[in-house]
Structure formats: C-alpha cells, structure tokens
Amino acid sequence: MYYRGARAAVVVYDICNGPSFEALKSWLQRLKEFGPKGLIIMIVGNKCDLADGRQVDREQAESFAKSEDCLYLECSAREDVNVELIFQEIARLLPSGKDEGPINDYFRLQGPESIRTRFCGC
C-alpha cells in the first residue's frame, strides 16, 4: 500500500509523548513486514524544542534506533532544527542517480522520450 515503491521511511515520534515512542516498534514491524527490501529507515524524534516536557531520552532513542539498524535524528519542525538534514541524509544514502531508479507514475505518463526533449536546448 503506502510503502510500495518507497525508498525511504521516516518514522516520527514526539519526544514529549512516550506512547508515540513505544509505537515505533509496531511501525517498524509493519515496515519490515510489508516494506520493500533495502528501505532506508530513519527514526525522528520531533519537538526537540520542548525540552521541558521531554519523556524520551535521546540516548534511549538513539540506542533503540541503532539496535533496529535505523538512522536517528532529533528535530523540531517548529524551530526548524534538523528538518532539512533528515532529507539530506536520506538523499545522501540513496544509490547513484545513474542507476535505473523507479520512475514516478506522474512522469511515466509523458514517457522518458518527451522528458528528454523537454529539457534539450541543443
């Protein structure tokens, strides 16, 4: 379903919400069960700006991510901390663009030939 064809998954929890961290296990379970092989998985602890309400230790989360063979980052969408880094890290780990990667349906409608023409300024 959603995971089909995905190259990476960002599994988000709220550092001020313990249950959302506990739920990571079942999210990861699903990914392992239904997700594609070789999926890049990053665990992200959001709302790190709300340090006062923290319920999940960074070290705890980090070692959990390590044990699950996942990347890990804490971020804050509100304060714009590490958000871009999440996707940079994912982009960095993606195989070279020269490989025949999956082509999105959106563009497949046009076909690769028309894409080539569209950007050819020769």
Partner 1 sequence: MERTDTKQAVKVVLLGNSGAGKSSLAQRFVFNTFNHYSESTIGASFFTKHMLIQNGQQELRISDEKSSDQEEEEEAQQSIKFHGELLLSFLCQPLVAVLTLNLFNFGQYGTQQDKKNIIRLRRCIIGEHVQQ
Find out whether 57 and 90 touch, Cβ atoms under 8 Å.
no
Q: Which stretch binds partner 1 (CB under 8 A): 13-21, 52-60, 63-71?
A: 13-21
Contact between 32 and partner 1 by CB under 8 A: the answer reads: no
Rounded to whole angstroms, the Cα distance separating 77 from 17 reads 16
Nearer to partner 1, 40 or 62 (CB): 40
Beta bridge partners of 71: 42
* Paired residues of 44 in beta bridges: 12, 73
* Contact status: 55 vs partner 1 (CB under 8 A): no
**Cα 85 from Cα 21, distance rounded (Å):** 21
- Could you tell me which stretch among 54-62, 64-72, 97-105 binds partner 1 (CB under 8 A)? 97-105
Torsion over CA: 68, 70, 75, 78 (sign): negative
Interface residues toward partner 1, by CB under 8 A: 1-3, 5-14, 17, 19-20, 23-24, 27, 30-31, 44, 46-47, 75, 77-78, 80, 83-84, 86-88, 90-92, 94, 96-99, 101-104, 106-107, 112, 115-116, 119-122
